[in-house]
Amino acid sequence: MPQEPISVQRGDAFITFYPGNWFKITAGVDVQDESPIIGQQWFSWRVSRDYHFRYELAPARGWVASVDRLFELRSRGFTKCGGENLFVIGHGDRWWDPQLVRFHDDEPARHQLVQLIGALSLAGFNGNSGLPVGHVVAFNADPDLMLDFTRALLSSCQ
């Protein structure tokens, strides 16, 4: 695994790895202007210290900042796998359907961690999980940035 920090950035979004003694992952989202109910959120998870992935991260639903954004994604060919009940949807200063929200303070940040762990797992080889030993910090990272980061992580290991 890398012994130096690695960072990728696009606009105000970034993912940075800091070498350390254990795997820890932190994600932040900031959609305050588009969706005040989501606002600014951060969530950290450390596999050796926190509750199991199954309880802390896996239940977090995908999210969109507004119903308009969901329909825009659908018109571009995304989100065709199901209905609106698969997402928590911001609707100004409230949730589109509050019944769907599982983690009221930080569900979008938790889901971003799920996505990032999935992208990092693509770096696994020779029995390695792909999760680097250190702290990975992501902010407003989309799947493309996550894949760019995973590529940078792999390149640093060669």
pLDDT tens string 41-78: 999 999 888 889 999 999 999 999 998 998 898 899 88
The C-alpha angle with vertex 45 and arms to 85 and 15, in degrees rounded to 5, equals 85
Work out the burial of residue 52: count CB atoms within 10 Å of its CB; fewer than 13 is exposed, 13-18 middle, 19 or more buried: exposed
- Answer CATH for 6-135+146-156 from 3.30.1700.10, 3.40.50.360, 3.40.190.10, 3.40.640.10: 3.30.1700.10
The pLDDT assigned to 120 comes to 95
Contact 45, 23 (CB under 8 A): no
- The per-residue pLDDT for 30 is 98
Report residue 90 as tokens: 């911001």
56: closest CA among 114, 142, 135? 114
